[in-house]
Amino acid sequence: MIDIINDEYFMDLAISMASKAMGQTGINPVVGCVITNEGSIVGMGAHLRRGEGHAEVQAIHMAGQRAFGGVAYVTLEPCSHYGKTPPCAELLIHSGIKKVVVATLDPNPLVAGSGIRLLEQAGIDVVVGVLEEKARKLNEKFNYYITTRRPFVTLKSAATLDGKLATKSGSSQWISGPTARAEVHTLRHQHEAIMIGVNTLLKDNPSLTTRLDVAAKQPIPIIVDAQLRTPVHSKVVEQSGARVIIVTTEAASEEKAEQLRQHGVMIVRCGSGKQVDLHQAMQWLGEHEISSILLEGGGKLNGAMLEAGLIQKMILYYGMKIVGGSSSPALFEMGGVELMQDAYELESVEVELVGEDIRIIGYPKRQ
Ligand code: AOF
Ligand code: ZN
């Protein structure tokens, strides 16, 4: 197949570079940039780590003198503020670029259109909106975090066709096949933190690590544990103690808290009731720069997070199995709604076969 060389062709290259950096930029977006001059690519770059050069800086550096009179393709509006690095819009202006093609505006209130204005005021030809949807989706976590300062929560779960997480005796290996299970590790790599409830920890003793064939980033384990029942000798505390965050309540034992702290665990108290105040927890985590969370249940935490309106995205794998049992744990353990019209609904749904399982991706509608 011959690719048609146009704005989308170069923007697609910039997007694909950005997408490979997903999971490694912390609270920053993933961004890619391609510079062309007379139809040839003269520079390419991506933002790889927070605190390091933005995509445009890398690409302009590679292009050198050849940036002069060239075109820059950037997946996100060039920044206009002095952050950890100077503004990219000024760099583009000084390098003599004559045209800038942008996929999507930067929702960061510090930028939000002012990058485009700076470029236009300098007489640069600016085009916005090339492959916009694709670029916006790439940064859905950043877009949410930078405007709300709360973590973007993706619920991931595997369930049977009748919506169960295990059989009535608790057997759960395996609901989904190897292809779906492998995808989960990419998802872990792409989120800052991974969150489970203490019941899941007590039942499965998971290590919550990312296991990929390439070097992978390890998410911060977060355990929601109202009574501090997490054993100090659980795998997650033994393997990643210094990074673990346990979210609990004011009422939980200070003695147990101290024991866990001695293993490096951070204890955060949210709420004075019997249950963790999940809104307060998200507030605290956002303030501590946890911009995205992969929620891996179980059913009680999934239900509580859904009821609290704290889930932004769901990735559900359905194994072609039915286990029944009224006591078998369900994907969402919660009081339940009275009427069908009150059901929680998903929108922008995508359905795909993954190995022998069905994967459903959707976004809970705002209630
Ligand atoms: C760009 N190109 O490659 C990135 C941008 O703390 P700083 O200096 O890294 O600034 C972070 C903000 O800059 C971030 O919130 C977003 O608005 C923008 N990121 N902008 O022009 C890039 N990574
Ligand atoms: Zn920048």
Please work out whether the CB of residue 111 comes within 6 Å of at least one atom of ligand 1: yes
Please work out whether the CB of residue 75 comes within 6 Å of at least one atom of ligand 1: no
Q: Which residues pair with 68 in a beta bridge?
A: none
Residues 6+ apart with CB under 8 A from 69: 37, 96, 97, 98
Q: What DSSP state is assigned to residue 218?
A: P
Global pTM value: 0.94
Q: What is the pLDDT of residues 121-170, one digit of tens each?
A: 999 999 999 999 999 999 999 999 999 999 999 999 999 999 999 999 99
CA of 216 relative to ligand 2 center, distance in Å: 26
The string over 342-353, giving b where at least 16 C-beta atoms fall within 10 Å of a residue's C-beta and e elsewhere, is: eeeeeeeeeeee
Q: Give the C-alpha distances (Å, rounded to integers) separating 15 from 31, 144, 154, 265, 302.
A: 7, 19, 22, 37, 32
Residues 6+ apart with CB under 8 A from 144: 150, 152, 312
Q: Give the C-alpha distances (Å, rounded to integers) separating 304 from 298, 307, 352.
A: 10, 5, 27
pLDDT score, position 1: 60
Active site residues: 56
ipTM reported for the complex surpasses 0.85? yes
pLDDT score, position 2: 65
Among the bound ligands, the one closest to the CA of 111: 1
**Tokens 């197949």 sit at which residue?**
1
CA of 61 relative to ligand 1 center, distance in Å: 17
Residue with CA at minimum distance from ligand 1 atom 2: 54
Q: What is the pLDDT of residues 197-214, one digit of tens each?
A: 999 999 988 888 888 777
Residues 6+ apart with CB under 8 A from 195: 153, 221, 222, 223, 224, 293, 294, 295, 296, 301
Which pair of structure tokens corresponds to residue 270? Answer: 């949210």
Mean pLDDT split into 10-residue runs, the chain, 367 residues? 83 97 94 96 96 95 97 97 88 97 96 94 96 97 97 98 96 94 93 96 88 82 97 92 92 96 96 95 98 95 97 98 96 96 97 98 91
Contact 165, 175 (CB under 8 A): yes
Residue with CA at minimum distance from ligand 1 atom 17: 108
